Amino acid sequence: MQSSPLPEIPEYWFIFQNDLLLLQPTNDHKLPTNLSLSPLQPHLRRQHKLGLFNQINCYCAEITPEIALPNEIKPTPLRKAFELLGTSWYVAAAKASAVINWDKNHQFCGRCGNVTLHKSGTFERVCNACGLSLYPRISPSMIVLIQKDDNILMSRSPRFPPGAYGLIAGFVEVGESIEDAVHREVKEEVGIEIKNLRYFGSQSWPFPDSLMIGFFADYASGELTIDHHEIEAADWYRYDHLPGRPSSNISIAQKLIDHFVLAQNKKR
């Protein structure tokens, strides 16, 4: 008696086209699987195994802009995709974006200009001419919620969507510690001094390749003096009368604010 073939195990795929993530809204998890990708399989480029997420093997790839998509596959901006996928798939989606950008941006050696080759089974591209290894880039950056009594400092960047407000943030510069970067960015952007710096948590944030390191701090001294090259508005706002929120509900900026608001409400 001939046995029935074993069912194919689904794999989830993070596929990008024109920097948009392809989602399948009809699925509960919203990600296309190897079972639904047959029309696109011949066109997948930069294929990499991401690893095991939520007990599912996940992969990433890219397709070129001219490839027509099946009706059930919808290209989605990455920020919106994060909201749709939710926190359970955020890490995998962020990793997929970083891996695709690394592979795309390091086809040639930055030292000698020769073609690089992917080292199988790794996230490493190697130049056979000079031996330089190239890995996905991670740029450390800081973000800080500054408290003054029951107020927090919130600011707007010209790049923010209408109505969105955030916290002071910036990249760590060469040669400085993360703590030094926090004090420097606060002084540069709003002209005040802070104290009592406390670590909160971190988050990978692929815009473009950040590792966001979050802090709480207390106001120490100085008057707000805004650097209008970086931000267009900043002021102190009471925790229950905030001017707006970050543009992403799953960003570490949102988590910092939620944590502060919850702590203030518990005091009442």
pLDDT of residue 6 exceeding 50: no
Domain boundaries, the chain: 12-104, 139-267
Angle at 201 (CA atoms; ends 174, 166), nearest 5 degrees: 80
Question: Using CB atoms within 10 A of its CB, is residue 185 exposed (0-12), middle (13-18) or buried (19+)?
Answer: buried
Which positions ≥6 away from 146 have C-beta within 8 Å? 152, 153, 167, 168, 186, 192, 194, 217, 218, 219
The alpha carbon of 122 is separated from its chain's Cα centroid by a whole number of angstroms, namely 21
How far apart are alpha carbons 151 and 163 in whole angstroms? 19
Residue 107 neighbours by CB distance under 10 Å? 13
Instruction: Please name every residue paired with 210 in a beta bridge, in sequence order, or none if there are none.
Output: 139, 205
How far apart are alpha carbons 143 and 169 in whole angstroms? 4
pLDDT tens, position by position, 169-195: 999 999 999 999 999 999 999 999 999
pLDDT of residue 5 exceeding 70: no
pLDDT tens, position by position, 233-267: 999 999 999 999 999 999 999 999 999 999 999 88
pLDDT band at 34 (very low <50, low <70, confident <90, very high): confident
CATH architecture group of domain 139-267 = Alpha-Beta Complex (3.90)
Question: Which residue would you say has higher pLDDT here, 6 or 268?
Answer: 268
pLDDT of residue 4 exceeding 50: no
Mean pLDDT over residues 66-76, rounded? 90
SS3 175: coil
Residue-averaged pLDDT of the chain: 93
Please report, rounded to a whole number, the percentage of residues in the chain having pLDDT higher than 70.
97
Give me the CATH code for the 12-104 domain, please.
3.90.79.20
**Pick from 77, 261, 234: nearest CA to 156:** 234
How far apart are alpha carbons 155 and 5 in whole angstroms? 59
Same fold, 12-104 and 139-267: yes
207: left (phi over 0), alpha (psi -120 to 50) or beta: beta
Angle at 168 (CA atoms; ends 165, 171), nearest 5 degrees: 125
| Sign (positive or negative) of CA dihedral 78, 82, 83, 89 | positive
- Quick one: pLDDT at residue 35? 76
Buried b (16+ CB within 10 A) or exposed e, 128-162: eeeebebebeeeebbbbbbbeebbbbbbbeeebee
Please report, rounded to a whole number, the percentage of residues in the chain having pLDDT higher than 90.
82
State residue 237 phi and psi, 5-degree precision. -135, 135
Question: Which residue would you say has higher pLDDT here, 208 or 123?
Answer: 123
